[in-house]
Structure 1
């Protein structure tokens, strides 16, 4: 795109103030952009997450009897399967944005937590069967604010320390000519870009993993998969052709892509997992 002289002068040699062409703009607005979940793989099956409907407690019982008889259902994974996963040091003891790993125990930590995964021959069949999973909960009082008297800190083994203190903050404040004592709060924010989260995962015969997913940091996602499944990074390939918005939610890998890769390993065939629009509010963490 041509830039006229006034724009060039206004920018003063920088990009500020100039009209800049977005390199992927035309492809996106004309429908030519191929997003990760639009990739087609032979033999792909579909996975749908069953989420917790209570904010705190434990899973008492999961009744899969009806769901297993639904058309097209291939397998339903829960914490009872005890599928092996390793923690990711990017956030010790858990997946990248959470301090725990999905489908590893019966504890409920928040409303919308993944507690089962239905795999079927189509998205529609998986969605229908997911709605037939019945869960009995042992509920507990939820803590939703750090100022709640019931709130407690969690010691995460292996978490990096904050490091040594620098300077004399108290002394500097005491000697300051002007001091302000103000508490600022911000409302809860959700990262819900136009392109929802999801992933397509497949494993090769040699143990290599390929994941198609929207990612703002593909290298970080590769490291996460490498840690979760205890495989060399050289055996992990993350493909993110376009990103349809992110707001930071696609900087790291979340439980959806982890569960897709877990299911693909168990099924020994490609698995596509796409979060629904409501699940995008609970399946990826909040903006602090």
Structure 2
């Protein structure tokens, strides 16, 4: 479809975004998104709209900013490090949609004092991945450090992100990620542990160094941790992983045809 004509629509859309009713604000954010970089003058208004009390407007504003690409990165990073919780989340969504140009700024936000900022920065980096980065080790190491964050929610986001960075071919970064995930299998939070197992399953064969820790996780009190450890060992598929898996399955074997009515 044709894009709206920038000059004619920009002022009208900004006015509607500032003071229109819900439906008008929603449409205005949409129109500004369609204009892309031509609507760069509206960036401050779109950033304000990230905190709109009508969520569809705030989300449209996030993706309108994402549609502008690099010119909107700094404004979104400022919102990510602000103090409005919904705006922080929506800025995270926008930065995730922008992709590679946001990676350096997001990496810096991983040490922000506010847990919402750290957690959504980790989330966004996991969504973007580091496949296009010439040297993904710095960002991977910053995420690895965040697996020891005091906030369980931040740790959950971080171990999930470490599994979706797409580090294939970068041995150093991969080793950093796998080491952090291996240690996270000992986390006090069950959800952190089972998400860690899922991330190691996603990484597959390059996560072979985590096999001893995954073997230990087969005895975890949380059934989802045990299930994801099984899946991770299956996907890692080294001799050591296979042996651990077979030993575990033999010790937990279950016969579907043995019932109180048919005991042997």
Q: TM-score, normalised by structure 2?
A: 0.19
> Hey, which of these two has a bigger chunk of helix by percent?
2
Q: TM-score, normalised by structure 1?
A: 0.18
